[in-house]
Amino acid sequence: SVTAAFTNKYEPAQRTLTIAKTVDGNMGDKNKDFAFTLSLEKNSSAYTEAIAYTKGETTGVLTAESGEYSFTLRHGESIVLTLPYGCEYTVTEANGNYDVTITPEGGTPIESHVLTGTLTADTQATFLNELDVNTPTGLFRTMAPYVIMTGTALGAILLFILRRRRLS
């Protein structure tokens, strides 16, 4: 009789979620760190295991605090998160006063600071923050009193002339 021994090892499938950051606009701060949070669910339960990441030349592990992972990105940076296949993800940016547009790779841009989806393939999205401020010229506020005074003076002159003609 022959005996055979088999060892099975299950390795869960992993996928990557890449989040890139771009800042634009005349008041966009390209040196600012923008804060992000990531929430995960796997099989309808919160997923809080440590996850691997690569950010530029740095690799490491993110751990969930209070059920969320936190990271920051600056203009031109991106982070690659290695997540379990089939995870439902929610990436939220605390953007402050910026207008945010998220563009999923190959998708339609959405105006939101929240990205959601189910990770069944390697996925990439770019968060674009724009902040444009029109330069206040103060033209209206500085000219308004003079326009009102000139209008009042012209009105008074016109009234004076009309009354004088009636008396003549």
Residue 22's Cβ-side half-sphere holds a number of Cα atoms within 13 Å equal to 9
Residue 109 reports pLDDT greater than 80: yes
pLDDT digits (tens, 9 = 90+) for 63-100: 998 889 999 999 999 999 999 999 999 999 997 788 99
Lowest average pLDDT, out of 16-20, 104-108, 132-136, goes to 132-136
CA distance 124 to 66: 25
Closest to 127 in 3D by CA, of 67, 81, 85, 72: 72
User: Residue 160: its pLDDT value, please?
Assistant: 81
- State mean pLDDT over 102-123: 92
- State mean pLDDT over 11-32: 89
Query: What's the pTM value of the predicted model, to 2 decimals?
Result: 0.72
Q: Are 52 and 61 in contact (CB under 8 A)?
A: yes
CA distance 21 to 124: 11
Residue 165 reports pLDDT greater than 90: no
